[in-house]
Amino acid sequence: MTDVLQREARAAARGHDAPPRSRVPYLRTIGLYALTLWALVTLVFFLPRFMPGDPLRALQDADSGQFIYDAQERDKIAAYYGLDKPLVSQYRSYLSDLRKGDFGWSISQNTPVATLLKKRLPWTLLLTGSALLLSSTISYFVGITAAWHRGRFADRALIVVLSATRAIPEYAMASALLITFAVTYPIFPQAGAQQAFATYGSPLDAIGDVLFHLALPLAALTVGLAANKFLIVRNTVISTLGEDYMVLARAKGLSRRLLKYRHSGRNALLPFVTALGIQAGFAVGGSLFVESIFNYPGMGTLVERAVTARDYPLLQGCFILLAVVVLIANLAVELTYAKLDPRVRRR
């Protein structure tokens, strides 16, 4: 009997020590993101309506070229877009349309919002995705290398330069690059994402043209994103160089490459991934300014026109779509973080 009780006690102890396999934390995380999305959807609805003006102000302004003299006709247009209803009624209709995947009809451009978003979103994803990927690659490897050469001239120069560029807003960096490399020295195009009316002999020519137009906007967005993650990686790696496991790894005679990337570099992944998730939102926000400066055909120029025209449906569609992109990116980062650090899954 005693042996049986001891075996059961050991089994219970093993079960207690084993990490729980429940998926409740994942469901809780997804639930929190769903709640956040609802809050953003609500904010996106009410915020434009609290701004001065409305989408039909041009129709009511006698000095505007779009002025409609017939008051009944103006009322019909307001009723068509649902702007004559109380806010609560508009909000219910707005949520009902979103559940159906209907973003409404753009008032200023007289086009379905979904059609405009489908044309513009791929360009913004190309810019922000490329910037996050390029800045992450540069900051990770350069940060590790700088940590291993800490105190030397190259390390100090990188810290000074990247700390300075981190303080420069994206629109200022974009303006400087535009003036320098597109106006003063016309190396790159000043605007657009492709050459107008161009015919390409092969898909590689088309890709080359897209990358050529992408160079300056990508550089403007990448520099600031890389600077912050570089400092995180460098400082994290430096803090691990004197740890016992690093001393043991050196004593085993492991190569410098393994010491840099497999031992010290892996410890920088957790804060690095955290910074990447935070930067996803900043990258999307920064891309809106960069796109406006370079007249890049992404969501930035679309948002600018929607704000100018107080186009409620278009504003709602743009911000909801961008919010969903940021939330998906953060959710992917959080799940990746849980894979890298098993302790997160036990909460």
What was the pLDDT predicted at 215? 94
Packed helices 113-148 and 299-309: angle between N→C axes, nearest 10 degrees: 130
- The three state secondary structure string of the chain is CHHHHHHHHHHHHHHHHCCCCCCHHHHHHHHHHHHHHHHHHHHHHHHHHCCCCCCCHHHHCCCCCCCCCCHHHHHHHHHHCCCCCCHHHHHHHHHHHHHCCCCCECCCCCCEHHHHHHHHHHHHHHHHHHHHHHHHHHHHHHHHHHHHCCCCHHHHHHHHHHHHHHCCCHHHHHHHHHHHHHHHCCCCCCCCCCCCCCCCCCHHHHHHHHHHHHHHHHHHHHHHHHHHHHHHHHHHHHHHCCCHHHHHHHHCCCCHHHHHHHHHHHHCHHHHHHHHHHHHHHHHHHHHHHHHHHCCCCHHHHHHHHHHHCCHHHHHHHHHHHHHHHHHHHHHHHHHHHHHCHHHHHC
Q: Under the phi-then-psi rule, with left for phi > 0, alpha for psi from -120 to 50, and beta for the rest, what region is 303?
A: alpha
pLDDT above 60 for 327:
yes
User: Hey, where are the domains in the chain?
Assistant: 38-102, 119-346
Task: Identify the weakest region by mean pLDDT among 65-69, 264-268, 303-307.
Answer: 65-69
Identify any residues that bridge with 105 across adjacent strands, giving them in sequence order: 112
What was the pLDDT predicted at 179? 94
Q: What is the mean pLDDT of residues 83-103?
A: 86
- Of 51-55, 76-80, 327-331, give the range with the top mean pLDDT: 327-331
Q: Count Cβ atoms within 10 A of the Cβ of residue 114 and give its class: 0-12 exposed, 13-18 middle, 19 or more buried.
A: middle
What was the pLDDT predicted at 184? 92
pLDDT above 70 for 175:
yes
Residue 33: Cβ within 10 Å count? 16
What is the token pair recorded at 109? 């451009």
**What b/e readout covers 188-218, taking b as 16+ CB neighbours within 10 angstroms?**
bbeeebbeeeeeeeeeeeeeebeeebbebbb
Identify any residues that bridge with 112 across adjacent strands, giving them in sequence order: 105
Alpha carbon distance 173, 159 (integer Å): 18
pLDDT averaged over every residue in the chain: 80
Alpha carbon distance 344, 333 (integer Å): 13
What is the token pair recorded at 157? 């120069």
pLDDT tens digits for range 135-155: 989 988 888 888 888 888 888
> Which is higher by pLDDT, 284 or 22?
284
Residue with tokens 């709640």: 35
Alpha carbon distance 168, 71 (integer Å): 50
pLDDT tens digits for range 118-134: 999 999 999 999 999 99
pLDDT tens digits for range 63-83: 554 556 566 766 777 777 777
In degrees and rounded to multiples of 5, residue 105 shows phi and psi of -120, 130
Residue 87: Cβ within 10 Å count? 12
> Which is higher by pLDDT, 16 or 253?
253
Residue 314: Cβ within 10 Å count? 28
What was the pLDDT predicted at 21? 47
Q: Does domain 119-346 have CATH number 1.10.540.10?
A: no
pTM higher than the cut 0.75? yes
pLDDT band at 343 (very low <50, low <70, confident <90, very high): low
